[in-house]
Amino acid sequence: MKSLPFANGRNLSRRRFLAGSAAAAWTALQLGACRPPEGPDRTAAVQTVLGPVDPQRLGATLMHEHAPTVDWSELYATPAAPLGSLRERMLAETAEMLNAFHQSLSAADGPGAIVECTPIRVGRYPQLMVDLARRTPVHIIASTGFWCEALAPQHPWAVRLGIEPDGAARMADLFVREITEGMEDPGGERGDRFTSIRAGAIKIGTSALMRPSEKAVHIAAAMASRRTGCPITTHTTDGGGLEQARLLLESGADPGRVIIGHQGHMDDGKNAEAGDYHLQIARLGCYLQFDRVGAGNYDCDKQARLIHNLIAGGYERRILVSHDHVPYFYRDFSAESKGSQGWRENRADFTIATTKLATSLEQLGVPSDQIRTILVENPRRVLAF
């Protein structure tokens, strides 16, 4: 096989936090008063869990991963699962997986980075991510936001905010606070305690059809992105990406900050390879993310064909890739009583996109500089703010 370029905290009371005025938030949104300054007085950076990083130092970046944990318990109004004695093993095993990704990259394309797309109260432990980041050269970018899918409901916190008159503005305030000051500490009551570990992306999602409370989350994400410059990355369920993109843009989001995720199979709800649908999203100026590379219906050759279609249309600067790996998932999420034995370990291969997918793209005639654009240059552009 031909050698490829990529193959070698502080506290904040709930009362103080929720006291923000929706009117003030809306005024700031309209006037752009909260947007980050542009021009020579500000240098854009990528916000990792260890602090801001020059985007030129990222290397190849996997744009939608989970490391180390996902836990749906609170989505079902049950207690979060304990890490217990598994905490050290989780860190050691996940660091080993990320280090294998790092070691697969050439010196020019390292050290590598992942966007950790576990949002609020779905097994997101900010300090755990910091401890993981200290064990690997791979940069870790954490996410704020609320998520759901066809098989899992929204978090009750998101549902409540989603139906209140000023809920979208208050949700946006929460996202902005996590981006600019630090993420919520899940060890306390909702919104009672916050860390100083900042998020660098906004993760949102929809189920099979966009419900009213899901729409509110999208509006809040657009508001927060406009106020901070932080990118939005989405979860789709067999379609819905075009609807997401249109709503986010109508709500004021910059298309260059919008990433429509989980592309690669049934993305228009009908066709296994929905190339024309992808082009519609790309024409809006949004990114398309092929982030289940190598899994089931998302085999590398199929993903490569869909990516090649976008490149042929002139949209190589709007393509991102990843795997959506979850090293540790708590399988007994609906149980009222939980123990650490409920965690399921997955030996994730974080090198598939940068090796096997790169090979499939090369076999379709995609030159190495365009492959590098997808794996290195596009992520550093969209993640820097």
> What number is the average pLDDT over the span 80-105?
97
What pLDDT is recorded for position 328? 98
Domain boundaries defined on the chain: 14-25+62-383
Confidence of residue 300 (pLDDT cuts 50, 70, 90): very high
Contact 317, 255 (CB under 8 A): no
Confidence of residue 22 (pLDDT cuts 50, 70, 90): very low
Per-residue pLDDT reduced to its tens digit, 26-36? 333 333 334 44
Work out the percent of the chain whose per-residue pLDDT is above 90: 83
> What number is the average pLDDT over the span 199-205?
97
Confidence of residue 211 (pLDDT cuts 50, 70, 90): confident
pLDDT averaged over every residue in the chain: 90
What pLDDT is recorded for position 116? 98
List the single range of 11-15, 244-248, 344-348 with lowest mean pLDDT: 11-15
What pLDDT is recorded for position 253? 98
What separation in angstroms does the CA of 255 have from each of 17, 53, 141, 278, 372? 29, 23, 20, 14, 22
Sheet containing strand 69-70, strands side by side: 69-70, 328-330, 343-345
What pLDDT is recorded for position 215? 94
DSSP letters, 128-195, are: HHHHHHTT-SSEEE-EES---BTTBPPPHHHHHHHHSTTHHHHHHHHHHHHHHT--B-TTSSTTTBB-
List the single range of 83-97, 108-122, 207-221, 294-308 with lowest mean pLDDT: 207-221
Contact 143, 63 (CB under 8 A): no
pLDDT at 202 over 90: yes
Q: What predicted TM-score, i.e. pTM, was given to this entire model?
A: 0.89
Listed ranges 11-15, 19-23, 148-152, 261-265; the one with the highest mean pLDDT: 261-265
CA-closest candidate to residue 380, choices 21, 4, 54, 95: 54
> What number is the average pLDDT over the span 248-270?
97
Pick the CATH number of 14-25+62-383 from 3.30.428.10, 3.40.50.720, 3.20.20.70, 3.20.20.140: 3.20.20.140
> What number is the average pLDDT over the span 284-308?
98
pLDDT at 6 over 70: no
Contact 202, 145 (CB under 8 A): yes
Per-residue pLDDT reduced to its tens digit, 46-87? 999 999 999 999 999 999 999 999 999 999 999 999 999 999
Confidence of residue 42 (pLDDT cuts 50, 70, 90): low
CB count in 10 Å sphere of residue 1: 7
Per-residue pLDDT reduced to its tens digit, 348-364? 999 999 999 999 999 99
What separation in angstroms does the CA of 342 have from each of 202, 264, 300, 329? 28, 31, 32, 8
